[in-house]
Amino acid sequence: MRSIGEMARDSGLGVSALRFYDRAGVLVPAWVDPVSGYRWYDAEQLEEARLLARLRRAGMPLADIRLVLAGWSGPDTGLVRQLLEAHLRRLELTLSDARIELSTVRALLEHRENPMTSTSTPATARLDLPAPELAAALDAVRFAAGTDPELPALGGVLFDIEDEALHVVATDRYRMAVARAGATGHAGPRTQVVVPSPLADAMRALLSDGGSVRLTVDGDRVALEAGDRQAAGRRVDHDFPDYRRLVRLPAGRRALVDVPAFRAAVEAGPVRAGEVREQDGVSFDIVVLKMTDDGGVGVCGGEGEGDDDTGDVAVNRAFLLHALTAGARDRLILEFGAPTAPLAVRRTDTEDTFSLLMPVRLED
C-alpha cells in the first residue's frame, strides 16, 4: 500500500488535496489507521489519483469528477465521454465570454489613456537622503523586483517621493516589499518614478559610505549623486500599480520569530509533498506555516497529517527565505491573515518597512 505522502508525490496531488478528496468522498483511501488516522492507498488507486489530478487541472467541477471516476473502470464509458465533452463546451463558452469582457476592458483602458486633453507635466524633484537609510531601504525591497519581460512596469523599483519621505517599493505580483527613508529638501507635489533594476543597483553601489546623497528627478531622467560620484539613467516609461491599495490589509495574528532559528527550520523542514509548482516557468517548493498554541510559528506540511489545517498559510519557500534576509533583523514579526491573504513579514522597530508574500492555494 502507498502512504498519503507517496501517493501525493506520484500522483501530482498534494497531501492537503488528497485529504480534501477523501472528505468529499471522491478518492477514499483503502485503509485508515484507527489510532493515528493516517491514510493508506491501494496501488491501483494511483491511476485514479493521476486521472483526478488531470481533471482538477482542467477545472472540472467536483460533481462531474466524481461521476468520471465512478464510470472510468466500467464497461460503458459513454457517460464519461459526455461529461468530458460537456466540460469542454463550458470552457469554450467561458473563454468566449472572457474575450468579450476583456475586449470591453481594453476599450475602457484606451479611453482612459487617450483623453481629449492632457494636463500632465513632467515629474521633477530634488531631495537629500542619508546614505545608510537609502541603502537599507533598497536592500529591503530589491529582492521583490520583477523580471518578467511581459511586465516592464514591474521591472524596477518605485521611488515614491512625498513630503519628507521616500518610499521604495518593488513587486513581481507574487511578493511585494516596501521600505521608507527620511528625506529633506522636497517641497513639491508627490512624485513617483520607476527606476530600472540595473540603475537601482548602480545607485546602491554608491551608498557604501555614510553621509548624505542627493536624488534628482527631471522628467525622464533620474540621478543619484554621492560626493563626486553619480549614477543616472532614464526612468521606466510605465506606471507602477497603486501599492498603497495593495498593502491595506485587515489586521491579522502576529508572531515574533527568532530569525536564525526560524530560517533553519524553514530550510531543513518539510515541504508539501508532491506540491512542486511552476511559477513563471520556474519550479518552486511550498512551505506551510502554522501558528502554534504558544504564539510561535511552526513549519508543517510533511508526510504527517492532521485534518485541522484551516489556519495554515502556504508560501513559496525561496520567497520566504528572501524576505527573511531582506528583513535584516534577528527578530521579525510574521503576520497571518486568512489562508488566502498575503503573509506579512514585518520589522519590530517600524511599520514602514515590510514584505508581503502571496499565499499558494493548497486544495480545491
CA atoms 98, 99, 100, 103: torsion sign: positive
Are 2-86 and 249-357 equal in CATH topology? no
What cell numbers appear for 64 in the block? 462531474
CATH number of 2-86: 1.10.1660.10
Mention every residue, 6+ apart, whose C-beta is less than 8 A from residue 132.
Answer: 207, 210
Q: For the chain, which residues score pLDDT lower than 70? A: 113-122, 272-282, 301-311, 362-364
Architecture field, domain 249-357: Roll (3.10)
pTM, entire model: 0.76
Amino acid code (one letter) for 190: R
Q: What angle do CA 285, 289, 290 make, to 5 degrees?
A: 160
Mean pLDDT, the chain, as a whole number?
87
pLDDT tens-place string over residues 282-312:
678 888 898 888 888 988 864 444 444 556 8
What cell numbers appear for 354 in the block? 515590510
Q: What is the pLDDT of residue 306?
A: 44
Name the CATH superfamily for 124-244.
Answer: DNA Polymerase III, subunit A, domain 2 (3.10.150.10)
Domain boundaries, the chain: 2-86, 124-244, 249-357
pLDDT tens-place string over residues 117-172:
444 456 789 999 999 999 999 999 999 999 988 888 899 999 999 988 999 999 99
